[in-house]
A and B are shown apart, each in its own frame.
Chain A
Amino acid sequence: MKYANSHWSHAGWQPLITSFIGALKAGLPASGMIPPIGKIAVGAMWYKTILSTSVCPNEGSSNYTKKPDGWETATDSLNWAVVLPNDPQGMQIRTITNGRMDYFQGKQGLNYGTVSVEAGDQRLELLDWAGNVLLVASGGRCVSSSCPDCIYNMNYQVVELKKDTGVVGTCPYQACKRQVFAHYMVSLLLDLSNLDH
């Protein structure tokens, strides 16, 4: 397991948690969650960066190459939550997974949902009534159908909604090249040793 660090920061959840704690301690329901003063909204999207069909090399050769406990309960999902003000004035939430768009009508307080995720770039947007983009969560790692970290890395990319609407996602290498090569070498050596028999 890789713990949260600079590439896997979970800080994008903090504004949501702040809003949640505020409502909880005030005895309010989820519709009573509010953005902090001076902000249109707070929110984030989160997703794991491999699919349930992803296959990683050398599975089970160590504690860290095993599938983590509960792996089978995971779904291939793009998850999001957005807290909107008292009068959302026709705001919409849009998720974009590998170019596929889904829309959700905004309501006061906590909005949240899940869409099935596709390999590729992930993006969450808050739109005004006219369809103008107000806030964007983007720039997180892409979802891969392969195994870029060479382990079943189930950590989430947590990407916060921000004003910078120009950010686009990044797609790093897709395959676990180093270990694939090592695996190939082992196979080759086994093949060579079999030639002796």
Chain B
Amino acid sequence: MGFDGFALNIGDPAQYYVRNTFNYMFDYARDNFPGFKLFISLDLWAEGASYGHTDLAAYHDILQDFKGHPAYLQGPNGHSFVSSFSSGGLNNTDWEDWKSSWANQLYLVPDLDDTKGYNTSDPGWWHYWGDVIDGAMSWETAW
């Protein structure tokens, strides 16, 4: 089809099959399709639904272990590309703190479609989120 990569959307990073699947997919992409890239999407919506709260720290190990893999997508700033499904109810400073915990060595493009002003691209939304994120994305384009 001509794809260059895709997101791996993870709702519960602690599940055993997550790491197994990652090992297989990242190595397969590296060995067979070196131009094909993968990146992690933090499914904070599903995580919140199963844990009862949002926990960015739960993704630490999986991101730490794969963000430098040759098949991991690097953003235009040279850092690892990370996306999300929902804001997880976190505010801008939560995300800022999380990014700082990675020494800002990320290219953060979350899906913040549950945040106020997102769907109208309100100037206030950009004021609030603009300095925190490197890009915005959406999982819903067909409504």
List residues of chain A with CB under 8 Å of any chain B CB: 14, 17-18, 21-22, 25, 46, 48, 63-64, 69-70, 73-75, 79, 154, 156
Provide the residues of chain A in CB contact with B2, threshold 8 Å.
Answer: 17-18, 21-22, 25
- In angstroms, Cα B1 to Cα A18, docked, is 5
Report which residue of A17, A46, A64, A73 has the largest number of chain B beta carbons within 10 angstroms of its beta carbon.
A73
**Nearest B residue to A18 by beta-carbon distance?**
B1
**Nearest B residue to A22 by beta-carbon distance?**
B2
Closest 8 CB pairs of A and B: A21-B2, A74-B143, A69-B114, A63-B49, A18-B1, A73-B119, A70-B113, A69-B113
Provide the residues of chain A in CB contact with B142, threshold 8 Å.
Answer: 46, 79, 156
- In angstroms, Cα B84 to Cα A28, docked, is 31
Provide the residues of chain A in CB contact with B140, threshold 8 Å.
Answer: 70, 154
Count residues on chain B whose CB falls below 8 Å from chain A CBs. Answer: 13
Interface of B (DSSP majority class):
loop
Provide the residues of chain B in CB contact with A48, threshold 8 Å.
Answer: 143
Provide the residues of chain B in CB contact with A73, threshold 8 Å.
Answer: 119, 143
Provide the residues of chain A in CB contact with B1, threshold 8 Å.
Answer: 14, 17-18, 21
What's the minimum C-beta distance from A180 to chain B, rounded to whole angstroms?
24
Count the A-B residue pairs with Cβ separation under 8 angstroms: how many? 32
Find out whether the CB atom of B143 lies under 8 angstroms from the CB atom of A64. Answer: no
What's the minimum C-beta distance from A155 to chain B, rounded to whole angstroms?
10
**Nearest B residue to A69 by beta-carbon distance?**
B114
At the interface, yes or no: B86 with Cβ under 8 Å from chain A? yes
What's the minimum C-beta distance from A24 to chain B, rounded to whole angstroms?
8
Find out whether the CB atom of B143 lies under 8 angstroms from the CB atom of A75. Answer: yes
Find out whether the CB atom of B119 lies under 8 angstroms from the CB atom of A70. Answer: yes
- Can you list 22 residue pairs at the A/B interface with Cβ under 8 Å? A14-B1, A17-B1, A17-B2, A18-B1, A18-B2, A21-B1, A21-B2, A21-B3, A22-B2, A46-B142, A63-B48, A64-B49, A69-B45, A69-B113, A69-B114, A70-B140, A70-B143, A74-B143, A75-B143, A79-B142, A154-B143, A156-B142
**Nearest B residue to A25 by beta-carbon distance?**
B2
